[in-house]
Amino acid sequence: MLVDSTAAVHRAWTQWGREVGVDVAGVLAVAHGRRTADTIRLVAPQLDAAAEAARIEEREIGQAQALRRYPGATALLGALPPGSWAVVTSGSRPLALSRLQATGLPVPATLVTGDDVTAGKPDPECYLAGAAGLSLAPPDCVVVEDAPAGVASGLAAGMRVVAVTTTHPAAALATADLILAGLGELRARTSASEIRLSPRVHLSRVHRPPASSSRRPRPK
């Protein structure tokens, strides 16, 4: 959500779809926000999902020149206290790190990737792991998402969800608590007791143990 990887993603999936004879439009309609292997299981269950996913992500890693920071990403992260935010992505750890590093964005202490969970988005496991990594209860977390699968994941985790229409139209993200055009519309102000996101979202900065239903990240 911090990095605009649309061009790299479309290029890699389009090339793969043509190679294996899968409808590219159908693939791109479901790929955003999901783990690569999960998308392959949806659109081409006859293939070895793990092997095909590794091939696709290798191509994406090699397309750093196609990556861009989303407008507002740097300002938003700069306004947040260290340790108060996490990256929760469906991509693999190597892919996530390559994108952050290629765009000069910081790597947070809490980074949950598709490699760290047993079920990817729209399952809530990844966001529950992110909350646990921040020592926050799910209701104290705000998710920023751009894909229907991610919005569903955040809501299922019991978190408030801000959706941005950088990848999908507002109608596809309609279940989110708030829909914005992009990160540039989101502002963060901090005090000793809270982080307030405008226009309308705020959360306590008081850390407390996650709810008992939360799943902690698996040991590495």
What total of structural domains would you count in the chain? Answer: 2
Of 49, 66, 83, which residue constitutes the final position of a domain?
Answer: 66
DSSP 78: H
Of 66, 86, 118, which residue constitutes the final position of a domain?
Answer: 66
Is there a domain that residue 210 lies in? no
59: number of Cβ within 10 Å: 15
Q: Are 61 and 76 in a shared domain? A: no
Q: Are 149 and 52 in a shared domain? A: no
Is there a domain that residue 52 lies in? yes
Q: Are 91 and 188 in a shared domain? A: yes
pLDDT at residue 212, as a whole number: 36
First vs last Cα of the chain: how many Å apart?
Answer: 24
Tokens of 40: 């392959």
What are the pLDDT tens digits along the chain (220 aa)? 799 999 999 999 999 999 999 999 999 989 988 999 999 999 999 999 999 999 999 999 998 899 999 999 999 999 999 899 999 999 999 999 999 999 999 999 999 999 999 999 999 999 999 999 999 999 999 999 999 999 999 999 999 999 999 999 999 999 999 999 999 999 888 887 778 887 755 444 333 333 333 333 333 3
Q: Are 85 and 185 in a shared domain? A: yes
- CATH number of the domain that 199 lies in? 3.40.50.1000
